[in-house]
Amino acid sequence: MKLVVLRIGHRPMRDKRITTHVGLTARALGANGMLLAADDPNVKESIDNVVSRWGGDFFIEIGVDWRKAIKRWKEEGGMVVHLTMYGLNLPDVIESADLTNSTNSIGVMRNRDLLIIVGAEKVPPGIYDLADLNVAVGNQPHSEVAALAIFLDRVQDGAELRGTFAGCDREIVPTNVGKLVIDRTSG
Ligand code: SAM
């Protein structure tokens, strides 16, 4: 299953930090990459820096035309999930009784490549129709970072938290007290 985030509505002056957090969250929680529908090299640089130090092969593409990206994704057989507070609530789509026949089900999503759309302030109305599923992580307004994190965790059953990142310069050894980091660049 390939998981790619499509970030739309990014405003370079206001959203640099939160869009970077969307990318870092996507990477840390098992997504393969992020498509940014805006031209902001600063976001790309921040995320690429993290990838080069902390490993893995997460990619970020900027200046993406979201209509073309969605079209291509569907043509290649992938599914498009738009995270929005107005959508079907996540626990309901996860618990859908008929996993084989219902299109409104995470069961249908499990073995599909997913393009996961998150917005900033407002998304273009067309997105709701282009998406195969509009999914809410609770039907209350909150944040694209929180919505993405919970969605990625649920769709992977928590397995992403045990993920490893090949080719890292540094690696954390989990400890209860203090910080223990192995420097893979020395010796
Ligand atoms: N009115 C927006 C909406 O449609 O969800 C809230 C804007 S919010 C600042 C920015 C993004 O966070 C949204 O485009 C959506 O992707 C995500 N988001 C916020 N609350 C959400 C929720 N309860 N469920 C899923 N996604 C949410």
Contact by Cβ (8 Å): 27, 59: no
User: Would you kindly state where each structural domain of the chain is located, as residue ranges?
Assistant: 3-183
Q: What is the pLDDT of residues 65-84, one digit of tens each?
A: 999 999 999 999 999 999 99
Degrees, nearest 5: CA angle 21-91-19: 10
Q: Are strands 133-136 and 3-7 parallel, antiparallel or unpaired?
A: unpaired
CB of 133 closer than 6 angstroms to any ligand 1 atom:
no
**CA-wise closest residue to 5 among 149, 114, 143, 158:** 114
- Tell which atom from ligand 1 comes closest to the C-alpha of 137: 24
Which of 83, 89, 93 for mutating ligand 1's site (highest number of atoms within 8 Å of CB)? 83
- Tell which atom from ligand 1 comes closest to the C-alpha of 82: 16
Residue 103: the pLDDT is 56
pTM of the entire structure? 0.93
Q: What strands lie across the sheet with 3-7, from one edge to the other?
A: 59-61, 33-36, 3-7, 114-118, 79-89, 133-136
- Tell which atom from ligand 1 comes closest to the C-alpha of 119: 14
Q: Specify the amino acid at residue 143.
A: S
Residue 21: the pLDDT is 98
CB of 168 closer than 6 angstroms to any ligand 1 atom:
no
Query: How far is it between the farthest Cα atoms of the chain?
Result: 55
Buried b (16+ CB within 10 A) or exposed e, 44-82: bebbeebbeebbbebbbebebebeebbeebeeeebbbbb
Measured CA to CA in angstroms, residue 176 lies from 1, 135, 160, 171 at distances of 33, 36, 21, 16
CB of 24 closer than 6 angstroms to any ligand 1 atom:
no
Looking at residue 49, the DSSP 8-state letter turns out to be: H
Measured CA to CA in angstroms, residue 18 lies from 21, 39, 69, 73, 107 at distances of 5, 15, 22, 25, 30
Q: What token pair was written down for 136?
A: 């809410």
Q: What is the pLDDT of residues 76-116, one digit of tens each?
A: 999 999 999 999 999 888 755 443 445 555 555 667 899 99
CATH class given for the domain over 3-183: alpha beta
Residue 105: the pLDDT is 57
CB of 118 closer than 6 angstroms to any ligand 1 atom:
yes
Residue ID of nearest Cα to ligand 1 atom 12: 144
Residues of the chain with pLDDT under 50: 97-101
Contact by Cβ (8 Å): 27, 56: yes
Distance 150 CA to ligand 1 centre (A): 13
